[in-house]
Copies of this chain bind each other. A is one copy, B any other.
């Protein structure tokens, strides 16, 4: 496994790989890797001849007062994990490499970024799309693999990639969970033991909603009340949002006649946690004849 902090090394290596017919799978990360990240790496490993993982804690996607400085950094441990997964290249640039002097270009997806996490994290998705656009162009991957945990991010990246005709196909992988159901996240490390225990109620709430829907409840307000009720058993968690949305447009769903995505964000102390689950329509969609 090669580790490069130099952009021209990453460009040269990936160009060479492409020139001899290799496909390249790319997993952009901020490091502090867990099984969720590794599941993305394995997906890329299965699909492509070469696998590149970037580790870059991207300042542009952190707002003022967010956790840029305390975000966990453990590059040596991360590289150990990635070597075990058969990764070919770890690209770990510095901020000065990604954003050279005078950097002043931003990629922004409108609409999709306005609500949900975008409402409370202004500029966050602009930081994500800008860095992913640059990284995609540096690495030149055939696929880029993202986890469903950051579901809004996934939709935003997919839209950017389509609109700007970026090179990779965007591949999405299911959320990986702890044994109590908490979605794996590098930020779980911030939680106190009590917060960590209560954080399991997020997924419990989501599964309670899918059970209620499975029993025939189709009213979205009633389903939200189910989630809120479960979450109320975890007093250290404050609801930021719970929304049922169209999985592509992220527009609020009006009813359950098609697959929707239930997205939740809660705050535990100073830690923001997000999770989501797919909710299938209760019956096969009724279709009117042509």
Q: What residues make up the interface of A, taking CB atoms closer than 8 Å to B?
A: 100, 102-112, 129-130, 133-134, 137-138, 159-160, 162-167, 249
Contacts and interface: CB of A to CB of B under 8 A. Distances in A.
Q: Is the interface of A mostly helix, strand, loop or mixed?
A: mixed
Contacts of A159: 102, 104-105
27 contacts: A100-B162, A100-B163, A102-B159, A102-B249, A104-B109, A104-B110, A104-B111, A104-B159, A104-B163, A105-B107, A105-B109, A105-B129, A105-B160, A105-B163, A106-B108, A106-B110, A107-B108, A107-B164, A108-B108, A130-B164, A133-B164, A134-B163, A134-B164, A134-B165, A137-B164, A137-B165, A137-B167
Given A134-B164, A137-B165, A137-B167, A106 B104 contact: no
Contacts of A249: 102
Nearest to A166: B137
Contacts of A167: 137
Nearest to A7: B165
Contacts of A112: 104
A109 B111 CA distance: 20
A151 to B, nearest CB: 17
Given A104-B159, A107-B164, 4 more contacts: A100-B162, A104-B112, A105-B107, A134-B164
A137 B164 CA distance: 7
Contact of A105 (B103, B108, B138): B108
A114 B249 CA distance: 32
A111 B105 CA distance: 9
Contacts of A100: 162-163
Q: Determine which residue in A130, A164, A167 has the highest number of CB atoms from chain B within 10 A of its CB, and name it.
A: A164
